[in-house]
Chain A
Amino acid sequence: MQETIKHVACPYCGACCDDLEITVEDGKIIEVKNACIIGTEIYHHASREGRVGSPRRRQPDGTYKDITYEEAIDFTAKMLIKAKKPLIYGFGSTNCEGMAAAGRVAEDAGAVLDNCASICHGSSFLAIFDTGYPSCTLGEVKNRADVVIYWGSNPQHAHPRHLSRYGVFPRGYFTGKGYKGRKVIVVDPRYTDTARCADHFLQVQQGHDYELFDAFRMVMHGYADKIPAIVAGVPKEKILEVCDIIKGGRYVHIFFGMGLCHSDGRNHNVDIAINLVRDINEYTKCTIMAMRGHYNIAGPGIVWAWQFGFPYCIDLTKGSHAHMNPGETSSVDLANRGEVDAFINIGTDAGAHFPIRAFEKLGSGMPMVTIDPSVNMAATVSDVHIPVAIVGVETGGICYRMDNVPIQYRAVVEPYNGILTDEELFDRIYERMQELKKEGWTTDEGTWDYATPLADVRPVKEVYE
């Protein structure tokens, strides 16, 4: 019998569209409405042939053999205990429950815990540490913003429904004229598909956004006359014209993407953007928001900041305290420098996203486990690949949208072949680690203080049950 489930949130990008309608028949997904083409594919992927239905162990000849969950969990637990500095990286595509469970495992294993922000908006976090984050919700942008700036981001490709749901086209409470009432400004080195929707396009010289921001800030500080004739490839007249539009707006909002946080200067580009927002607030209301990539990549920032005090790049090897310093404790640097000796890739694909030299070290020099519903590039070189249920399709949970608003995700079908969720898997890894430690398992040499928990600290489970 066909059943249509309404108000389903989409597990693709950070816009977290929560108006999907999924038609299901006999445990199979038949039709997806309202989602973009990429979101639609994620749902159909769940019902497609060729899913991995059980954990797999890599054989000496490179082929994979199915193993049980018990064997896969045992391998992972032993790897975490024996390693001096294991790295657990990923979490772009899982729910907060899974992230919290992984946090418990990482703390117990003395691991480095990192998420995809490390190669994405992590540098934005550093800017936020330095200067704060005058942000808002996407609802406020929709209902109030009459000047919208997309700086170094191309949502038409990365967040396909962002412009129609929040940024440019929707008619909100105070923005009843929709796109006709909004001025849209796009700053990018390329004439992107988002730039095609813009009233003003500033073609900034690649890698020189920082200077352009400085010129904008000079206008806000009353030094417009001192601006050179051309800044970062943009003529002074154009800068002054756009600044007039910004000052004349009732509510200005800046969306920034990886054009800022992953060109030279990284956090400083975001830092100066945030400071421009502060300056604009002397004239009118202005807010700023990072265009977060995955549907729940804001999640680990929230969950782990609550658990450990830091959003990403969390070094838990010290036992007594969490240490965070990207450049040292960030996954790519750890891999490049050869500073880790075991690797768990979960809910992402380090094989596809890391620089090849970094991934080579992870993939060839140490034990590696991939936890992912699909066979991704990292899975093809892992010692063990553990499939898990797809969040938003086969299991629900909390996910944080790009504006840090939690959205309740829902399961529309049962997990394929009865596979575990991320949370169940990490809880079982944790329990297995406790058993192994009681049996006397430890690192091969030296003293691991943290392997012996303090006597007066009861395990989390015991406290709650």
Chain B
Amino acid sequence: MTVTVTLTKQPELYLEADQITPDVFAGKTLDEIGAIFISEGKVKYPLSEFATIEGAAGETAADTKIVLKGDWTKVKRIGQQMTAGEIVIESDADMYIGGWMKGGKLTVNGNVDSFCGIAMAGGELVVNGNAQNHVGSAYRGDWRGMTGGTLRVKGNVGNDIGTFMRGGTIIVEGDAFIHVLTHGEGGTIIVKGNIEGRVGGQAVKGDVYVNGKIDFMMPGFAYVDDVECEVDGETAVYAHYIGDLGERHSVVKGETVFSNLYLKK
């Protein structure tokens, strides 16, 4: 079952739409969905004030699909904490898209601002454009970042990609700026473009695959050997580094566990 929400009026400031998830929409009539609150600063509005709503929601989140049409550039928190179902955003979107997401699928056919997929725990998040900073990163002060799911950005990203990451996969098909897998405790990050630097700084565990160049390597990563790996469906030879040697590491069965950096040769 599909609900199509078309944004017809632009906010003066920015809208916070953490209620736009299949979980909230499921089992509601169109009038009930129209009455859901979205806020602009300290003022709350019913969703119908800004958008027209068509179609019908499913009984459960899993069989509810939400299609967002119109210009959602100034709307934050779409799909926050969603657990099932699907959201398709047919424009750019603002911050926290798919933040704390636990399941389902969220597709953005445009660019997103910062904090997309922050502290993501499951599901699939696809951004068919660029993303800004803190992609799949931890919330401020939280040492438990992304724990699961797949986050794919077709374009470029900024800094703080997968900070405090513990699980899941982040795939960046373009370039990244700095701080990739900083404080990593697990998980996998694939960057197909170039990175300026600070890859794997303070990382305890976790893997990074880089197909392009790294301008400034962390001194704490040491070359081990060349290995053949399959990365996002393509097999190639990578130079294998371990690190960060300036960080604590656990010892399992007599062997120190490091974070791995694979740089395509």
Contacts and interface: CB of A to CB of B under 8 A. Distances in A.
B36 to A, nearest CB: 13
Contacts of B159: 264-265
Interface stretch (A50-58, A323-331, A367-375, A418-426): A323-331
Contacts, number: 124
Contacts of A126: 140-141
A340 B42 contact: no
B202 A265 contact: no
B13 A226 contact: no
A260 to B, nearest CB: 14
Interface string B174-198: 0000110011000000000000011
Interface string A9-53: 000000000000000000000000000000000000000000000
Contacts of A443: 42-43
Nearest to A130: B141
B43 A264 contact: no
A261 to B, nearest CB: 15
A220 B12 contact: no
A218 B219 contact: yes
A371 B140 CA distance: 31
Contact of B43 (A272, A337, A445): A445
Nearest to B45: A446
A83 interface: yes
B41 interface: yes
B212 interface: no
Given A325-B115, A447-B43, A341 B219 contact: no
B220 A218 contact: yes
A221 B247 CA distance: 7
A435 to B, nearest CB: 19
B1 interface: no
Contacts of B245: 218, 221, 223, 226
- For the complex, would chain B's binding face be called helix, strand, loop or mixed by DSSP majority? loop
Nearest to B182: A268
B43 A326 contact: no
A240 to B, nearest CB: 13
B134 interface: yes
A317 B246 contact: no
B73 to A, nearest CB: 11
B44 interface: yes
B201 interface: yes
B134 A327 contact: yes
Nearest to A445: B43
Nearest to B222: A226
B41 A83 contact: yes
Nearest to B43: A446
Given A221-B245, A265-B179, A327-B134, A271 B13 contact: no
A228 B220 CA distance: 9
Contact of A341 (B13, B141, B164): B13
B42 A210 contact: no
A272 B141 contact: no
Interface in A216-242: 216-218, 220-221, 223, 226-228, 231
Given A85-B42, A317-B41, A211 B216 contact: yes
A324 B182 CA distance: 21
A339 B246 contact: no
A159 interface: no
B140 A325 contact: yes
B220 to A, nearest CB: 5
Nearest to B177: A264
B44 A272 contact: no
Interface in A240-266: 264-265
Interface residues of B, number: 40
Contacts of A448: 42-44
B27 to A, nearest CB: 24
A338 interface: yes
Given A211-B216, A448-B42, A84 B182 contact: no
A223 B222 CA distance: 10
Contact of A446 (B44, B134, B197): B44
Contacts of B14: 337, 339
Interface string A403-431: 00000000000000000000000000000
Contacts of B178: 264-265
A193 interface: no
A221 B246 contact: yes
Nearest to A211: B219
Of B14, B164, B201, B219, most buried by chain A (CB within 10 Å of CB) is: B219
Given A84-B43, A443-B42, A268 B216 contact: no
Contact of B183 (A83, A130, A211): A130
A64 interface: no
B13 A85 contact: yes
B71 to A, nearest CB: 15
Contact of A328 (B115, B179, B198, B201): B115
A447 B12 CA distance: 16
B143 A211 contact: no
Nearest to A317: B42
Given A84-B13, A130-B141, A214 B43 contact: no
A339 B11 CA distance: 10
Given A126-B140, A226-B245, A211 B218 contact: yes
Nearest to B76: A328
Contacts of A268: 179, 182, 198, 201-202
Given A443-B42, A450-B42, 9 more contacts: A84-B41, A85-B41, A214-B219, A215-B246, A216-B246, A217-B246, A226-B220, A265-B178, A447-B43
Interface of A: 83-85, 110, 126, 129-130, 208, 210-211, 213-218, 220-221, 223, 226-228, 231, 264-265, 268, 271-272, 275, 279, 317-319, 324-328, 337-341, 443, 445-450
17 contacts: A85-B13, A110-B42, A208-B216, A211-B216, A216-B246, A217-B247, A223-B245, A226-B222, A228-B219, A231-B219, A265-B198, A272-B201, A327-B134, A337-B14, A339-B14, A446-B40, A446-B49
Across chains A and B, which 5 residue pairs bring their CB atoms closest together, nearest first?
A129-B141, A217-B246, A85-B41, A110-B42, A84-B41
